[in-house]
């Protein structure tokens, strides 16, 4: 019976896949439209008129066999139908390549846009599957080299003195007129055959080839609700969270998830990043890591108190109920067996440098029990840590505890998360949850989408019984979760210790500060007709200016998912205009003048953001030119300098994408805290923020204790930093709402 069930469910999976690829393959038409075309043609044939204008008879004459007239007609209608689909898709692609609408103000649409909007609606509104739009998405264009260079120079103008700028301009002009053109030709050649001229190199050179620890440097985290914990029972929280994640996985596999769109429009965004969300790990290599993905994975890997377990989440093709998963997790929590020698801190290998881990993996984990156990972790749907600590905004020191919570999600004890997995979920002893995501397979918005769904499904759909347990039936004879077996030799244990030392030093150096800002939010900012993102970016620069007495190269992540397989682009959000505003504000210019400059700065920021989104950025193009120069073995002093400039302020907004899942009216406390990441430069800040509802912005600020430019007294830094950022926002607010 078991086997036939499995077969049935496999059969089901197979047929839905076939079905989906048909539906996707003919998008924007539907499979049933074939019937219409065929019937239409047959009907006209019947009426003695030939809609093919002689083509059908011609086809018939050229066939070697005598084929029935009706059959030829059917073939003809199919061909006609297929070419109609191709034509529709081509039109959709053309329409989606138009981006001018983004630069137009509300109510001042150009005539082109006025025609364009209904056409896009018409072609893209049929109910799509997750990947339906993929083949209609435009390719990311390669900008002209002059454009990129002049945008670059414009972006560094406010950061350089006149002689420095002169030097940089000379370098840039020299590059533009000589080597640049040659590199550009190769890059254009690549753009012809590659789906996206940036993404494969970006994934490889920025993420997979980096040899330092990925913990803190590359992985990032997502947090639970701020004020509430839906249950304080650890096993129950794990039960619902794991169920919700698996429900999301099912939606991805069946392509039932709706493709993301540019907020407030029908413009689809690329969905390629969903493909490697589950069943995925990053495996270390000596020169480069690789992302591995499995098509089959019916279990999760669980870590608790130094031991690893495999937990099957399906039983005879049926997803376990949340209550069953809770019970299984409880069995793991109740298991008192001690870790095997070397097992407890094994995860530190994934937190330290990559090369030693690659060597250890090859030598000691490629056969026998170690291979079997490592396979289970790597092939798991995802990784779960049952943490022994309590976390969240709680206790006598809620603010300090919030910071410790962030640190715990970012690096934990450096060995109790599996940093290589596409993501690890952490469930704390008091029921708080969170996740740590690896960065190479996708960017934060994709993970945030998954996490929003998980939090909302956990709290509102699945829910808990009155005593805080999961709901659902329980089959009594579930097998015990399987303890993984290891045979860790002394050499590996020694490497675990040194990897741990590297990771621990890195972790100890990270200063995290998380704070909800509740004085005002998106609502008030929008009332003043300013983009909330521009407002926050300008205030971050003001904060930095007050902290360090100057401006710095500022990185703001934006996405290029309007294009196929697009990932991110940098908005260099410190602009001539923002500096002009801050300088004026700090030197006590008149309010009217400040207001005018602020307006200019915010418009400029929005423009930069839109340019980045529509493929007219600076940094990805220069990055790719740099990669080409490396392939050709030529040195470019200009590119070398550009790529080594530090980003002292690295910022990112986490977009809220599914506000409809949350009900802030009836459940105002179920507010997500967003997530954060480590500082990019040793002497810089990492700032992540999420704009929640109308009245709140949550900030996650990180920096390094070892940085000489910050005070080295821990207790002072944190409060100072918080004060600095809140102050900046407040200054802007006071000034902004002065009337
Ligand atoms: C064409 O269709 C007829 C029925 O309309 C069928 O008998 C015949 O086998 C078909 N095939 C070919 C190659 O003609
Ligand atoms: C747009 O169309 C309107 C009338 O529909 C016309 O008056 C106007 O000149 C057009 N604008 C442009 C820029 O073509
Ligand atoms: C991951 O594994 C599950 C369970 O075996 C499978 O159904 C699914 O298709 C896999 N997911 C992907 C994206 O390959
Ligand atoms: C930048 O600002 C400086 C001084 O405020 C000005 O001289 C310069 O023309 C501006 N550059 C651009 C590209 O706007
Ligand atoms: C750090 O700052 C706090 C508060 O200002 C002060 O009480 C403490 O003595 C300082 N610690 C050190 C090591 O300087």
Its sign, for the CA torsion 280, 409, 214, 453, is: positive
pLDDT digits (tens, 9 = 90+) for 673-686: 899 999 888 888 88
Amino acid 65: pLDDT: 66
Q: How far is the CA of 713 from the centre of ligand 5 (A)?
A: 6
pTM of full prediction above 0.75: yes
Work out the pLDDT band at 23, boundaries 50, 70, 90: confident
pLDDT tens string 214-231? 999 999 999 999 889 999
Distance 551 CA to ligand 5 centre (A): 29
Q: Please provide residue 55's backbone torsions phi and psi, each rounded to the nearest 5 degrees.
A: -65, -40
pLDDT for residue 717: 47
Q: How far apart are CA 152 and CA 616, in angstroms?
A: 11
How many whole angstroms separate alpha carbon 301 and alpha carbon 481? 10
Q: From atom 6 of ligand 4, which residue's Cα is the shortest distance away? A: 576
Residue 714 alpha carbon, nearest atom of ligand 5: 1
Mean pLDDT of 293-309: 95
> Is the shortest distance between the CB of 279 and ligand 3 below 6 Å?
yes
Long-range CB contacts (< 8 A, 24+ apart) of 729-737? 729/517, 729/519, 729/536, 729/539, 729/697, 730/519, 731/539, 731/542, 731/585, 732/535, 732/538, 732/539, 732/542, 733/519, 733/520, 733/524, 735/585, 735/591, 735/594, 736/528, 736/598, 737/524, 737/528
Distance 727 CA to ligand 4 centre (A): 28
pLDDT tens digits, 140-159: 999 999 999 999 999 999 99
Residues in the chain: 739
Tokens found for residue 221: 């985290």
The answer, yes or no, to whether any atom of ligand 1 lies below 6 A from the CB of 71, is yes
Q: Name all domains of the chain by residue range, CATH numbers in brackets.
A: 28-127 (no CATH), 145-194+616-645 (1.10.275.20), 204-340+380-485 (3.30.559.70), 514-614+646-739 (3.30.559.10)
Q: Band the pLDDT of 660: cuts 50, 70, 90.
A: confident
What confidence tens digit (pLDDT) does each residue in 245-266 have? 999 999 999 989 999 988 888 8
Q: Does residue 736 surpass a pLDDT of 80? A: no
pLDDT at position 714 over 50: no
Phi, psi at 481, each rounded to 5°: -55, 145
Q: Which residue from 20, 257, 297 has its CB within 8 A of the most atoms of ligand 3, so it is best to mutate?
A: 297
Q: Is the pLDDT of residue 522 over 70?
A: yes
Whether residue 62 lies in the annotated active site: no
- Distance, in Å, from the CA atom of 202 to the CA atom of 192, rounded to the nearest integer, reads 17
Q: Which ligand is nearest to the CA of 110?
A: 2
Max mean pLDDT range (31-45, 395-409, 510-524): 395-409
- Confidence at residue 727, expressed as pLDDT on a 0 to 100 scale: 58
Atom of ligand 1 nearest to the CA of 66: 14
State the residue for tokens 């995802």. Answer: 382
Mean pLDDT of 273-293: 95
The answer on pLDDT for 539 being more than 50 is yes
- 173 within ligand 4 shell (Cβ under 6 A): no
Higher pLDDT, 53 or 248: 248
pLDDT of residue 146: 95
Which residues line ligand 5 at a C-beta cut-off of 6 Å? Answer: 713, 715-716
Could you tell me the pLDDT band of residue 1, with boundaries at 50, 70 and 90?
very low
Give the position, in ligand 4's atom list, of the atom nearest the Cα of 580.
5
- How far does residue 122's CA lie from ligand 2's centre (Å)? 23
């Amino acid at each position: 019976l078991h086997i036939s069930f499995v077969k049935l469910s496999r059969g089901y999976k197979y047929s839905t896949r076939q079905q989906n690829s048909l539906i996707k393959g003919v998008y924007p038409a539907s499979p049933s439209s074939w019937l219409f075309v065929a019937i239409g043609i047959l009907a006209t044939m019947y009426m003695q008129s030939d809609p093919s204008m002689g083509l059908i008879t011609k086809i018939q004459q050229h066939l070697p066999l005598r084929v029935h007239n009706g059959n030829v007609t059917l073939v003809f209608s199919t061909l006609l139908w297929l070419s109609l689909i191709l034509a529709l898709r081509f039109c959709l692609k053309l329409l989606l390549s138009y981006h001018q609408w983004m630069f137009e103000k509300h109510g001042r649409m150009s005539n082109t846009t006025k025609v364009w909007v209904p056409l896009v609606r018409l072609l893209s509104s049929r109910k799509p599957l997750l990947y339906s739009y993929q083949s209609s998405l435009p390719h990311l264009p390669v900008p002209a080299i002059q454009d990129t260079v002049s945008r670059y120079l414009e972006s560094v103008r406010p950061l350089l003195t006149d002689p420095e700028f002169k030097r940089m301009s000379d370098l840039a002009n020299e590059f533009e007129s000589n080597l640049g053109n040659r590199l550009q030709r190769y890059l254009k050649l690549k753009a012809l055959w590659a789906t996206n001229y940036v993404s494969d190199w970006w994934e490889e050179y920025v993420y997979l080839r980096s040899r330092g620890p990925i913990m803190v440097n590359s992985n990032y985290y997502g947090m639970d609700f701020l004020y509430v914990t839906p249950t304080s029972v650890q096993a129950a929280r794990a039960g619902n969270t794991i169920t919700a994640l698996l429900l999301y996985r099912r939606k991805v596999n069946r392509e039932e998830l709706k493709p993301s769109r540019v907020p407030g429009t029908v413009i689809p965004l690329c969905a390629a990043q969903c493909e490697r969300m589950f069943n995925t790990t990053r495996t270390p290599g000596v020169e480069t890591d690789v992302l591995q993905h499995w098509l089959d994975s019916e279990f999760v890997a669980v870590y608790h108190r130094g031991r690893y377990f495999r937990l099957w989440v399906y039983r005879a093709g049926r997803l376990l109920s949340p209550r069953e998963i809770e019970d299984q997790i409880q069995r793991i929590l109740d298991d008192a067996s001690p870790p095997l020698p070397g097992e407890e801190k094994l995860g530190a290998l994934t937190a330290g440098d990559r090369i030693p881990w690659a060597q250890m993996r090859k030598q000691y984990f490629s056969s026998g029990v170690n291979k079997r156990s490592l396979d289970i972790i790597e092939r798991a749907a995802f990784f779960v840590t049952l943490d022994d600590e309590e976390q969240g905004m709680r206790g006598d020191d809620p603010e300090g505890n919030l910071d410790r919570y962030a640190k715990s999600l970012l690096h934990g004890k450096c060995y109790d998360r599996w940093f290589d997995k596409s993501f690890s979920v952490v469930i704390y002893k008091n029921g708080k949850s969170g996740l740590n995501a690896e960065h190479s397979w996708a960017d934060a918005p994709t993970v945030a989408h998954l996490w929003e769904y998980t939090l909302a499904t956990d709290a509102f759909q699945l829910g808990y019984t009155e005593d805080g347990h999961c709901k659902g039936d329980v089959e009594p004879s579930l097998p015990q979760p399987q303890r993984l077996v290891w045979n860790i030799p002394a050499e590996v244990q020694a490497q675990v210790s040194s990897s741990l030392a590297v990771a621990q030093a890195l972790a100890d150096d990270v200063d995290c500060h998380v704070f909800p800002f509740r004085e005002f939010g998106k609502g008030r900012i929008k009332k003043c007709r300013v983009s909330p993102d521009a407002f926050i970016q300008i205030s971050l620069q003001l904060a930095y200016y007050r902290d360090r007495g100057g401006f710095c190269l500022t990185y703001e992540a934006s996405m290029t998912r309007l294009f196929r397989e697009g990932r991110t682009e940098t908005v260099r959000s410190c602009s001539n205009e923002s500096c002009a505003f801050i300088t004026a504000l700090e030197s006590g210019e008149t309010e009217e003048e400040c207001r005018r400059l602020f307006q200019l700065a915010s418009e400029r920021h929005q423009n930069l953001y839109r340019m980045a989104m529509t493929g007219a950025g600076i940094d990805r193009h220069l990055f790719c030119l740099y990669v080409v120069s490396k392939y050709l073995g030529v040195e470019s002093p200009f590119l070398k300098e550009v790529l080594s400039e530090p980003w002292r302020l690295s910022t990112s907004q986490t977009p809220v994408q599914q506000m409809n899942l949350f009900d802030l009216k009836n459940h105002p406390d179920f507010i997500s805290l967003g997530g954060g990441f480590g500082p990019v430069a040793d002497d810089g800040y990492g700032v992540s923020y999420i704009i929640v509802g109308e009245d709140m912005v949550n900030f996650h600020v990180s920096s390094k204790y070892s940085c000489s430019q910050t005070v080295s007294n821990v207790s002072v830094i944190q409060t100072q930093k918080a004060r600095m950022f809140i102050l900046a926002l407040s200054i802007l607010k006071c000034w902004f709402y002065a009337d």
